[in-house]
Amino acid sequence: MRNKKLSVWAKIYIVFIIALVGILMIYIVVDKEEKVPEYSTITVKESVIDSKVEEEVGPKLSTLDFASTEWGTHGGDYYNRRYSMLSQITSETIGDLKPTWVSSLGSGSEGKYSGEATPIVVDGVMFITTGANEIFALDAKTGEQIWAYTPNIVQEMDTVCCGWTSRGVAVGDGKVYAGLLDARLIALDQKTGELLWETKVAEWEEGYTVTSAPLYYNGNVYTGVSGGEYGIRGRVMAYDSDLGREVWRFYTIPGPADMDGDTWPTDNNAWLTGGGPVWNTPAVDPELGYIYFATGNTAPDLDGSNREGDNLYANSIVALNAENGDYVWHFQEVHHDIWDMDPTNPVVLYDVEMDGKMRKGLGQAGKTGWVYFLDRTDGTPLVGIEEKPVPQLAEQKTAATQPFPIGDAFVPQTIMEEDVKNDLGPEFTGETGSIFTPFWDVPITLKPGPFGGANWPPSAYNPDTEYFYVLGNDHYMSFARQEDEAFEEGSMYVGSIMQPVSNAPTRGTVTAIDVKTNKIAWQKKWDTLAYSGVLTTAGNLVFVGHNDGRLIAFNAKTGDEVWEYKMDAGANAPSITYEIDGEQYIAIYAAGNALAGSIHGDKVYTFKLGGALPEGQIIDASAKRGGGDTTTVGDSTVSANIDKGITLYDANCLACHGNQGANGHNGPNLQKSEIAVSKEAVIERITNGKNGMPSFKETLTTEEMQAVADYVVTVISPLGK
C-alpha cells in the first residue's frame, strides 16, 4: 500500500508557500498603514535577536494598583497618580526622617543642564538619568553604582528649546528605556546596562528632541517628541519593546485629508510646521485600553495670522487606543493658541465617587492656571467647563471663545492695579491685560504667561483626601509682535517676541484642589518659582522640592508644613518613595535647573526614618562608568573669541535668553538689554548673577566668561561696544 505521508519535496514546497504568503502579508500591512517612516533606523544587538529574557524582570504592577513597595513608572503607576500606599512615614512620624545615603553622579552639573528626572525603583535598583542624558543604576538601599551608560550625544546640538534635560526612564521586559535629546530611543539591559537596541525617532537637526520619560506598557514603549518652538509636526509613537520596531504613530497635527484637518488653513501648509509636541509621559487605563497625553503649543507660538482655525490637536488632551493608536477623543484647552499657553503637565487618571456613582476621572493642570477635570471614557467635563467669548483681534485670527472651567484658578489670571503698583513699579508704562488678551503692534503684559500656571513639573492625586495637588507660578510676561518670521528648518519658529518684565517677581504656589468641585482646599505661596513636582502618600503627606534646595513635606489634608531638609542644589525634580526590607524610603534628584536659575549639582538624596548618614558622607557613584559610548569633554580653557563665545552661550545661556538673545523662556531680551552693551557689565552679571539669574563663577572660567561677553556685546547687542 502506498505511504500517504508527504514527501520531503512536498513539505519543502508547503513551507516555501507559507513563508512567501507571510512576507507578502507583512509587506501589505506595512505599506498600507505606513507603520515605518523612511528615516526609522533600528540598530539591534545580535544577541537580542537570538535570545529572550528567561524570566520577566520589571515593575510588578497590576493594572490598577497604586505604587507601593516600588516606583515602577514615571508617574508611580499607569495612572500617573504619584501616590504611594506606603504609610510608615506619616505626618506624625516624619520628624525622624533623616538622610540614609547621598550619591554623587558626577554628571549633568554644568550650567546648560537641568535635573528634572524622576527615579524609577524596581527589584531593589534605582534607575536615574541626568540632564546630560547619562543613565545610572544604583543600589536603592545603599546608593552604590551598579552600572552607568553614557550615550554619544552631539554636544554642538543647537536645536534645544529649554535646556538640556531628561525626565526619566521606563523599565519593563528586562530592559531600561530612555528617550535621548538627539531624538533617539534606546533600550538597555536592566541588569548590566548593555545597549540592546536603539531607534531614531526623528531628526534633531529639524528641531525634534525627546525630553520626556517613555512609558512601558504591555510589550510596547510609548514616547512623544519635543521641539514645539522649532516648527515640528508633533507625534506620539508606540515601539515594540523587544526590537524597537515602530508599531504605530499618531500625528498631533492632522493633515488636510485627516479628521479635524479643517481646523488648519487650506490655502497653505501651516499644518506641516504646526507644532503640537508632547512634553510629558502618557497615562494608561488598562480597563478601557486607552492611552492619554497632553499636546503642546502651536507653531509659530505667538503668531496666529498664518494658521486660522482652532489648530487641533495642539493644546489638547488626547485619548487613543493603546494597542493600535486609533483616535478616541480629544479636549482642547486653548483654541488657536497665540500665547504659548500649552498643557505641558502630565495627565493624571483617578477614580472618584460623584453623585453616588464611581466616575473615571482625568485631571490636567494647564498653563492657563486651571485644572481641567474630564470623564476619561469620553472626554466630557466631570466638573463644568463653559465656552465664553474672549477679546478679538483680526490680525491674529483669534478664536471667538475659549474654555473656562467652573471652579478656582490656582494662579491669578488678570493684572490688577495693585499688581502694577506693587510688582511692576512706577517705571512701567506699558499696556496690561488678562488671560486670552490678544496682542499685535502694541506690546502687552499678561499673566499667568507661558512660564506661569502649571508647567512640566508633575501633579499628583491622593485618593484619601480626593485632592489634586499642583505646582503653579504667578508670572508676568510681555508680548510684542516682530516682523513676519519665515520658517527655516532647524531654527526657532516663534513668530513674535516674549520676555519677562524687568524686576517683576515670580511667585510659586502649592495648591490642593478638590476634584469634585474644582475648588481650592488649601494653598501655599512662595516668593520664587515652584518648579519640581509632587509626591503624595498614604501617610497623609505631600512632598515638594524648592528652588533653594529644600525638600518640603506638607500635611496632605491641611497644607501645614511638617518637615524640610536643605540640599546643596536646587530641588527641581519630583521625589519618589519605595520600600526595601520593611523600611520606607524617600528619594529625590537634586541637580538644579537652567530655566529656574537654581544652583546646579549632581546628587541623589535618600531618606528614611532613623537615617544615620554621617554629615558630609557622599557616595561616589560616578566611578566605573561604562556600558556604552563615552562623551569626551574638551579643555575647560577657551580662548576669548566670538566662535567660542557662541558655543558657550548656546550651552549655558540659550535656554533662558533664547537664540540670538531673544525669545528665551525666563530671561530678558539681550538685544534690548542695557547690560549687553558692555563687556564689563556682562562679565559682572555672569560672575555674580542677579534677578533670578544664577552665578556662573563656579561653572565658567574667566576666559570663558570673556568669550561669552565678546559674543553678547559684539553680535547680539546692536549697541555693544
Whether the Cβ atoms of residue 266 and residue 330 lie closer than 8 Å to each other: no
Q: Write down the CATH number for the domain with range 124-396+403-520.
A: 2.140.10.10
Confidence of residue 696 (pLDDT cuts 50, 70, 90): confident
Whether the Cβ atoms of residue 183 and residue 175 lie closer than 8 Å to each other: no
Instruction: List the beta strands (DSSP E) in 483-546.
Output: 496-499, 507-514, 519-526, 534-537, 541-545
C-alpha cell at 670: 539681550
Strand partners, 434: 414
**Which of the two residues, 277 and 696, has the higher pLDDT score?**
277
Q: Can you tell me the distance from the alpha carbon of 433 to that of 534, in angstroms, rounded to the nearest whole number?
A: 31
**Which of the two residues, 313 and 674, has the higher pLDDT score?**
313
Confidence of residue 664 (pLDDT cuts 50, 70, 90): low
* Topology adopted by domain 642-716: Cytochrome Bc1 Complex; Chain D, domain 2 (1.10.760)
Lowest-pLDDT range of 116-130, 562-576, 605-619, 694-708: 694-708
Lowest-pLDDT range of 110-119, 298-307, 649-658: 649-658
pLDDT at 624: 53
pLDDT at 649: 80
Confidence of residue 718 (pLDDT cuts 50, 70, 90): low
Q: Can you tell me the distance from the alpha carbon of 612 to that of 603, in angstroms, rounded to the nearest whole number?
A: 18
pLDDT at 230: 94
Confidence of residue 682 (pLDDT cuts 50, 70, 90): confident
Q: pLDDT tens digits, residue range 477-527?
A: 999 887 777 899 999 999 998 888 888 999 999 999 999 999 999 999 999
State the chain's mean pLDDT as an integer: 88
Q: CA 81, 84, 88: angle at the middle one, nearest 5?
A: 160
- First-residue to last-residue Cα distance in the chain: 105
Give the closest residue to 44 by CA, choosing from 232, 244, 193, 303: 244
Confidence of residue 163 (pLDDT cuts 50, 70, 90): confident
Residues of the chain with CATH 2.140.10.10: 124-396+403-520
C-alpha cell at 712: 553678547
Instruction: Classify burial at 575, counting beta carbons within 10 Å of its beta carbon; exposed 0-12, middle 13-18, buried 19 or more.
Output: buried
75-92 mean pLDDT: 98
Give the closest residue to 701 by CA, choosing from 88, 111, 149: 111
Confidence of residue 645 (pLDDT cuts 50, 70, 90): confident
Confidence of residue 55 (pLDDT cuts 50, 70, 90): very low
Q: Is the pLDDT of residue 181 over 50?
A: yes
Q: Is the pLDDT of residue 317 over 70?
A: yes
Question: For 703, phi and psi rounded to 5 degrees?
Answer: -65, -35
618-624 mean pLDDT: 83
Whether the Cβ atoms of residue 113 and residue 594 lie closer than 8 Å to each other: yes
pLDDT at 162: 84
Preceding peptide of 463 cis, ω within 30°: no
Q: pLDDT tens digits, residue range 203-262?
A: 999 999 999 999 999 999 999 999 999 999 999 999 999 999 999 999 999 999 999 999
pLDDT at 42: 59
pLDDT at 29: 38
pLDDT at 457: 98
Which bin fits 37, alpha (ψ -120 to 50), beta or left (φ > 0)? beta
Confidence of residue 2 (pLDDT cuts 50, 70, 90): very low
Whether the Cβ atoms of residue 178 and residue 627 lie closer than 8 Å to each other: no
Q: pLDDT tens digits, residue range 580-598?
A: 999 999 999 999 998 898 9
Residues of the chain with CATH 1.10.760.10: 642-716
Instruction: Classify burial at 37, counting beta carbons within 10 Å of its beta carbon; exposed 0-12, middle 13-18, buried 19 or more.
Output: middle
Q: In what order do the strands lie in the sheet with 534-537?
A: 83-84, 534-537, 541-545, 550-555, 561-566
Question: To the nearest whole percent, how much of the chain has pLDDT over 90?
Answer: 71
Q: Can you tell me the distance from the alpha carbon of 649 to that of 646, in angstroms, rounded to the nearest whole number?
A: 5
Q: Is the pLDDT of residue 661 over 80?
A: no
Q: Cα separations (Å) of 449 from 242, 256, 372, 485, 520?
A: 42, 31, 18, 22, 21
Q: Is the pLDDT of residue 474 over 90?
A: yes
Q: pLDDT tens digits, residue range 423-448?
A: 998 889 899 999 999 999 999 999 99
pLDDT at 679: 85
Which of 173, 337, 340, 342 is the catalytic position? 340
**Which of the two residues, 339 and 7, has the higher pLDDT score?**
339
Q: Cα separations (Å) of 317 from 332, 333, 372, 507?
A: 6, 8, 9, 27
Q: Is the pLDDT of residue 21 over 80?
A: no
pLDDT at 30: 38
Q: pLDDT tens digits, residue range 396-428?
A: 999 999 999 999 999 999 999 999 999 998 889
**Which of the two residues, 22 and 323, has the higher pLDDT score?**
323
Residue 340 annotated to the active site:
yes
